[in-house]
Amino acid sequence: MARVVQKFGGTSLADITLIRNAARRVVAEVKAGNEVAVVVSAMAGTTNQLVAWADEIAGQSNSAEYDGIVSSGEQVSSGLFALAVESLGVPARSWAGWQVPVLTDANHGRARIQKIDAAGIMRDLKAGGGSCWFSGHRAGSPRDDLWPWRIGHNGCGAGIRFECGSLRYLYRC
């Protein structure tokens, strides 16, 4: 058994058919006996639309609200992806960065990952079918605020891979 981290970009999740295709790839890994953690981006075009709406209303005048809006696309992808995997008979859980937790410095709008506590991830991987999902952008700061880390999902995927001791990292976009 291997521990695998897979990352799916927005073009791999652009619609429900593609989400289901990606979910089948993950389920195949789980059925092969592997523990699989997945990092997902927002569906193609979603973040751009959210940014446009926020900019049309107020620009980035309130960074906390702006970041909440922009990060919501990953939450949707994460939840849909978990549902798609569950529909194929494999238990799944979606996690937001702050739930893992991914901890960052307190540089709002450009925070950097300081630590990823993989204990919960590892517990879920070992306990229930070996699959869980992460969405990005928002993590916890030392002050328990939510901050976007803005290093992209490749950085998050690499961090999760390291913390979980994954031997394979499969990037799909």
Q: How many domains does the chain have?
A: 1
Distance CA 80, CA 20 (A): 9
CATH for 48:
3.40.1160.10
SS3 state of residue 11: helix
Residue 92 has pLDDT above 60, yes or no: yes
Whole-model pTM over 0.75: yes
Residue 173: band (very low, low, confident or very high) from pLDDT cuts 50, 70, 90: very low
What is the rounded average pLDDT for all residues in the chain? Answer: 75
pLDDT tens-digit series, residues 3-44 = 788 888 899 999 999 999 999 999 998 898 888 888 888 899
Residue 63 has pLDDT above 80, yes or no: no
Residue at token pair 């879920």: 124
Distance CA 91, CA 135 (A): 17
More confident residue, 91 or 112: 91
- The pLDDT of residue 52 is 92
Domain that holds residue 87: 3-172
- CA dist 168 → 5, 44, 79, 123, 165 (Å): 6, 25, 24, 19, 9
Residue 163 has pLDDT above 60, yes or no: no
Name the β-bridge partners of 135: 40
pLDDT tens-digit series, residues 73-83 = 888 998 999 99
